[in-house]
Amino acid sequence: MKRTLFLTSTFTRPVIALVALAFAPLAALHAADAPNVKPNVLWLVCEDSNVNWFGCYGNPEAKTPNIDAFAKQGFRYTNAFACAPVCAPSRSTWITGIHAVSTGTQAMRSRYGIPHDLIKYYPDYLRAGGYYAANHSKTDYNIGGRPDTACWDSSVDAAWTKRKPGQPFFQVINFNESHESSAHGDVTKTRHSPGEVTLSKYHPDEMPIRMTYAKYYDAVEKMDGAVGKALAALENAGLADDTIVIFNSDHGGVMPRSKRFLFDSGVHVPLIVRIPEKFKNLWPAEKPGNTVERLVSLIDLPKTWLSVTGSEVPEVMQGRIFLGPKSEPEPEYVFSFRDRMDERFDSQRAVRNKRYAYIKNYMPYVPWGQHLDYLWKMAATRSWEDAFKNHRTDAVTGRFFGLKPAEELYDMQADPDNVVNLADKPEHKQTLETMRAKLREWQLGIHDSGLLPEFERDRRAQENKTTVYQMVRDPKLYDLPAYLDAADLALAKNPANSARFIELLASKDSGLRYWGTIGLLMLGKADAPAQTALETVLHDECGEVSAMAAWALIQSGKPEKAQQSLIDTLQKHPPSTLVALNVLDWSRVEITPYLSQLDALIKSPKKGDEYEQRMLEFLRESHGLKNPKSSSAEEKQ
């Protein structure tokens, strides 16, 4: 097979750059090997890049010659979607083959446990099947109870140098050149011209935004060079004809309103698979260079890798095999989710087919564009916020900073930027209702753990001495149908349901109390019976119930008891403190009554409460106050 690589001398990786020195003896070793019955696998994973950053996906402004050439040698998938729009929950889903929202590991950098005796990682099955499995650099599996590295033989970037003679290898190489952090900092010195970039429809035409685009194009170009070097290393080792090579991103991004969000820009990812002639039986199309329109979710990847390598495929995995003789039927829909990202809470679910994307917002009472410390390190985000505050945006470019509707529906063919919500259009009613029903069916099928808020979810699991994964599969501990019904009632925002919400506040089930509270919050100013009911849960054992009840009372003009409840929470400092800090921002209260408690939390931070510190600093700074101490730690995600 003829393979063309476009390498430039400005791009290096510390280990792979030693190709000429390292691989002369390896080629001789390979020649002595018997032909592999099982294919080797090289999985190349870049970060934070949706399909719009690549030339082979139709962007003439992108400089990705290595990936473009690779696409001509392989099969380019046009409908591949990430399960989550940020690293940790996406990679948690990969390593287990189970949606993170099904295991309870969907909250960013949370490290909640799973039953490791019931759920192995996909490299465990590869190694049991005889593979040498290596993962270079990033893990970020977001799971407690097991070190991320324990499932791998090593962290080298050339597994073929460590394997036994004739042993098949499975190699992951992660490329961080395109990570979100590459768009931070100075944007004035870029190779790409800011004046020549094409902005998404939802971004206002501001020079700092253009400059950030240009800087990220530079980063993607650099990543492309690193991918080229990895492909060259495989070629020079004489292993390309024995190795399946995959290239994809872990999720979308990276400009504001892509990463972390369930729009097309946050989850529509590149996926290219190159399969040597000797494994032609695995080809998904007639010949290399063809595109494949099959709908693929990134949860399908680990299950597929196990299948094509002849490894055991555990029944617990939730994806579908999409390559080879054991391929499973193409799904009609794929699903994505989003819960807490860093210090900010949001809850969304999405279902899409090849044309439409449906998004359900379980927290429509907060805006998309909540200030999030890491996202605001980008000049583009700060410029966008400034444009909004100073009236330089319109209905499309300013929408990001407004409240969300409960439901969104987009025609991805006619509206790839997802700016025209069709959810309330009569002609799309049937599509909306079908996708809404499919989402509920999926949530019930995978046991969506997110209908209980994060800290209550963990508290209840600990109280019952189990994991979230096991708890949500026990209807006595987690009544998902009832929570889904209560959530839909709350999202309907119908005043006629007020009495029902008051009833829910008296339930023994904290999940129902939570959705009853949300229902009253969404109705706006509460009447006297609702206020009395809300006061009864101001000190609820579920911290999210008490915090949201406080907000509901604040917006009803009854702040006194609500204020004391929030102060008590800040003083006691339970895990749900982060929710209370968010409520102080969402409710737009004057923070002076809370300053002594806020300052105490800043001056005496607990280990692992970096996200609390970020919220504490933001609360003071957004009210024009200096922080007594700054302890926020930057963190890649």
Domain boundary among the residues 264, 298, 319 is at 319
Give the integer Cα–Cα distance in Å for 196 and 206: 13
Structure confidence at residue 8 (pLDDT): 45
In a domain, 23, yes or no: no
Structure confidence at residue 3 (pLDDT): 63
Strand runs labelled E in 138-265 = 143-144, 169-175, 243-249
CB of 132 closer than 8 Å to CB of 164: yes
In a domain, 11, yes or no: no
Which residues does 122 contact at the CB level (< 8 Å), separation at least 6?
Answer: 94, 95, 96, 97, 302, 303, 305, 306
Which residue range is the domain that position 540 belongs to? 449-562
Q: What is the mean pLDDT of residues 134-151?
A: 97
**What string of DSSP letters covers 254-308?**
-STTTTTS-SHHHHEEEEEEE--GGGGGG-SSSSTT-EEEEEEETTHHHHHHHHH
Domain boundary among the residues 298, 319, 340 is at 319
Q: Mind listing the pLDDT tens digit for each residue in 58-116?
A: 999 999 999 999 999 999 999 999 999 999 999 999 999 999 999 999 999 999 999 99
CB of 220 closer than 8 Å to CB of 252: no
C-alpha of 579 from chain center:
20
Structure confidence at residue 608 (pLDDT): 80
- Residue 36's pLDDT band (cuts 50, 70, 90): very low
Of the ranges 17-21, 140-144, 441-445, which one carries the lowest mean pLDDT score? Answer: 17-21
Structure confidence at residue 632 (pLDDT): 44
Structure confidence at residue 604 (pLDDT): 85
Give the integer Cα–Cα distance in Å for 145 and 150: 11
In a domain, 36, yes or no: yes
Place of tokens 């899409």: 352
> What integer best gives the mean pLDDT of the chain?
94
Q: Output the domain CATH number for residue 279.
A: 3.40.720.10
In a domain, 18, yes or no: no
Question: Which of 311-347 are b and which e, b meaning 16 or more Cβ less than 10 Å from the residue's Cβ?
Answer: bebbeebbbbbbbbeebeeebebbbbbbbbbbbbbbb
Which residues does 474 contact at the CB level (< 8 Å), separation at least 6?
Answer: 466
CB of 178 closer than 8 Å to CB of 46: yes
Share of the chain above pLDDT 90, in %: 91
- Residue 21's pLDDT band (cuts 50, 70, 90): very low
In a domain, 71, yes or no: yes
Q: Which one has a higher pLDDT value, 604 or 180?
A: 180
Rounded (5°) CA angle 264-268-274 = 165
- Residue 6's pLDDT band (cuts 50, 70, 90): low
The rounded radius of gyration (Å) of the Cα atoms in the chain is: 25
Q: Mind listing the pLDDT tens digit for each residue in 540-596?
A: 999 999 999 999 999 999 999 999 999 999 999 999 999 999 999 999 999 999 999
- Residue 605's pLDDT band (cuts 50, 70, 90): confident
Closest C-alpha among 142, 128, 141 to residue 170: 128
Give the integer Cα–Cα distance in Å for 395 and 278: 54
- Residue 7's pLDDT band (cuts 50, 70, 90): low
Domain boundary among the residues 504, 538, 562 is at 562
Q: Mind listing the pLDDT tens digit for each residue in 306-356?
A: 999 999 999 999 999 999 999 999 999 999 999 999 999 999 999 999 999
Q: Which amino acid is it at 607?
A: K
Query: Has residue 12 got a pLDDT over 70?
Result: no
161 CB neighbour count, 10 Å cutoff: 19
Query: Can you read off the two tokens belonging to residue 532?
Result: 């009395």
Q: Mind listing the pLDDT tens digit for each residue in 367-424?
A: 999 999 999 999 999 999 999 999 999 999 999 999 999 999 999 999 999 999 999 9
User: Does 310 lie in the same domain as 454?
Assistant: no
3-state helix, strand, coil in the chain (%, to 5): 45, 10, 45
Query: Has residue 19 got a pLDDT over 80?
Result: no
Give the integer Cα–Cα distance in Å for 340 and 395: 27
Query: Has residue 142 got a pLDDT over 60?
Result: yes
In a domain, 427, yes or no: no
The continuous run of DSSP H or E covering 411 comes out as strand 407-411
The continuous run of DSSP H or E covering 352 comes out as strand 348-352
Q: Mind listing the pLDDT tens digit for each residue in 457-495?
A: 999 999 999 999 999 999 999 999 999 999 999 999 999
Query: Has residue 157 got a pLDDT over 60?
Result: yes
The continuous run of DSSP H or E covering 213 comes out as helix 207-236
Q: Which amino acid is it at 7?
A: L
Place of tokens 């240009």: 214
Which residues does 523 contact at the CB level (< 8 Å), separation at least 6?
Answer: 493, 495, 498, 501, 530
Give the total number of structural domains in the chain.
2
Between strands 407-411 and 356-361, the pairing is: antiparallel
Give the integer Cα–Cα distance in Å for 15 and 238: 17
- Residue 30's pLDDT band (cuts 50, 70, 90): very low
Query: Can you read off the two tokens belonging to residue 236?
Result: 């020079």
Q: Residue 69 phi/psi, 5° resolution?
A: -65, -40
In a domain, 224, yes or no: yes
Identify how many contiguous H helices and E strands the chain contains and give both numbers: 22, 13
User: Does 41 lie in the same domain as 180?
Assistant: yes
Give the integer Cα–Cα distance in Å for 615 and 57: 38
- The alpha helices in 478-576, defined as continuous H runs, are 480-492, 498-505, 510-522, 528-535, 543-555, 559-572
In a domain, 628, yes or no: no
Q: Mind listing the pLDDT tens digit for each residue in 307-317?
A: 999 999 999 99
Structure confidence at residue 23 (pLDDT): 39
